[in-house]
Amino acid sequence: MDQSIATLFARIKAGNDARRADFGLAERRAALDRLADVVRRNEAAIVTALKADLGRPEAETILTDYLPVLQEITHARRHLRRWMRPRRVWPTLATFGASGRVEPQPRGTCLIIAPWNFPFQLALGPLVSCLAAGNAAILKPSELTPATSALVARIVTETFPPGLVAVVEGDKTVAEALLALPFDHIFFTGSPAVGRIVMAAAAKTLASVTLELGGKSPVIVGPDADLKQAADWITFGKFVNAGQTCIAPDHLYVHASVKDAFIAALRARIARAYGSGAASPHLTRIVSPSHAARLSALIADAVEKGALLPLASGQEGQSIGPHLIEHTTPDMRLLQEEIFGPILPIQPYTDTDAVIAAINAQDKPLALYIFDRDRSRVEEITRRTTSGTVGINLTLLHYTHLNLPFGGVNTSGIGAAHGEAGFRAFSHDRAVLRNRFLLLPLLFPPYGPRVMRLIGLVKRVLG
């Protein structure tokens, strides 16, 4: 193992152990305030870094990377006193005479592994929850976004003492070295494939994990959908960040009775948002040549197997314009792999049961989106499927609702993040039980006739 990483871990762990009793509400709020201040002062630098790494438009960076971090900090600071407060619990009959409470306790030394698609907010957002819960952390940004990674490292160095938070930059060998260390909790955002590797590594040290993964999130446009509303939200949800979003609509089912009208509305909305296609200044580029080549191969595979493209808006290097694909078949890679790009397969349907069966035959998605004004049909789809989240007549917005937990199910994730859910993810709920006037000693051995009579009474009372 890289000894510098081991030494860094030892320093963070020692600092956390020394600080544990004194990192209370005031200290945590102060840490969050310092982070908010340095993020605000670096707004221009954040925009510049994401432009360099992803060709991200300024407005998109503000909306998807900059503001979410500040919102997370503001929300945590406002509610932290309540989150930290021990929760009293009522006694059961067996524990009558004792007082019980649950107190959130910091997990300890945490590892946060951030992805490349939203490299700023998916690094610092979990860090907010980690600090709010009273922990220390090592943060590993993605090597695929080097400008943002370097900026995150600088921000952390400027903001926190060395024993509280540190950043380690590097490739997957660095991540492997970090995963070999005995962290108390690991927070990982990325693909299900890498999530399995993280979970296997955590098992070796029995570290707890939060895994924010992804998968193939479906969207259903029902026969009674508001087609303009659906086109607006699906265009936004699918093509923001060029589709490189874990909760982007991956594939779309549209009722046959509205298919042509919906595709026309969707094409018109895409043209208004990204008129020049791959050359649009409003479109983020694909993160790397290899990722762009993978997406091009997905399109080529579909066309070779008979798919049609009602919209193909070109490719210029790593910039790929929005693509709509029809006449898909199960053997196409588009329907087998998470797309993670600006490509939307569209499948017509007439039978809602068949769509539900198709969704349930796949891994549980991180998000499920339903566009329909028929409440009973929406409720039926919701009731008969499982997903991390359901979005009704919208996409993506649930991610920003800090009073809702954000997380997946099985292959789409383990645990939850954001707001109080994020605080709980980085906390251990410790049970504390205090004896006030417990009568249980009356049942202690020796088990003579008197004790047996009392046990009989207890049996009758407790059933």
pLDDT tens-digit readout, 384-432: 999 999 999 999 999 999 999 999 999 999 999 999 999 999 999 999 9
Show the tokens assigned to 362. 């796949």
Closest CA to 391 of 226, 219, 253: 219
Q: What is the pLDDT of residues 188-225, one digit of tens each?
A: 999 999 999 999 999 999 999 999 999 999 999 999 99
pLDDT score for 271: 96
**Predicted local confidence at residue 287, as pLDDT:** 96
Residues 194 and 276 in one domain: no
Using 70 as the pLDDT threshold, list the residues of the chain that sit under it.
1-2
Q: Tell me the torsion sign for CA atoms 84, 69, 33, 78.
A: negative
In a shared domain, residues 170 and 271: no
Q: Are residues 176 and 245 in the same domain?
A: no
329 is in which domain, residue-wise? 218-405
Note the pLDDT of residue 98: 95
CA-to-CA distance for 356 and 384, rounded, in angstroms? 7
Does residue 440 lie in a domain region? Answer: no
Residue 458 lies in a domain: no
Tell me, yes or no, if the pTM score tops 0.85. yes
Q: Same structural domain for residues 29 and 145? A: yes
294 and 183 both lie in a single domain: no
214 burial class (0-12, 13-18, 19+ CB within 10 angstroms)? Answer: buried
**pLDDT score of 155:** 97
Q: Are residues 268 and 389 in the same domain?
A: yes
One domain, residues 255 and 310: yes
456 occurs within a structural domain: no
The pLDDT assigned to 349 comes to 98
Domain count across the chain? 2
**Per annotation, catalytic residue among 212, 316, 338, 420:** 212
* 212 in catalytic set: yes
| Chain position carrying tokens 């006694």 | 91
In a domain, 201, yes or no: yes
- 449 domain-assigned: no
pLDDT confidence of residue 276:
86
> What pLDDT is recorded for position 8?
93
Which among 60, 130, 246, 420 is annotated as catalytic?
A: 246
**Strands in 37-140 per DSSP E:** 87-89, 98-106, 109-113, 136-140
42 found inside a domain? yes
How many helices and strands in the chain, by DSSP H and E? 16, 18
For residue 115, which phi and psi values (nearest 5 degrees)?
Answer: -95, -175
Is 246 an active-site residue?
yes
Q: pLDDT at position 281, please? A: 94
Kindly report the CATH number assigned to the domain that includes residue 198: 3.40.605.10
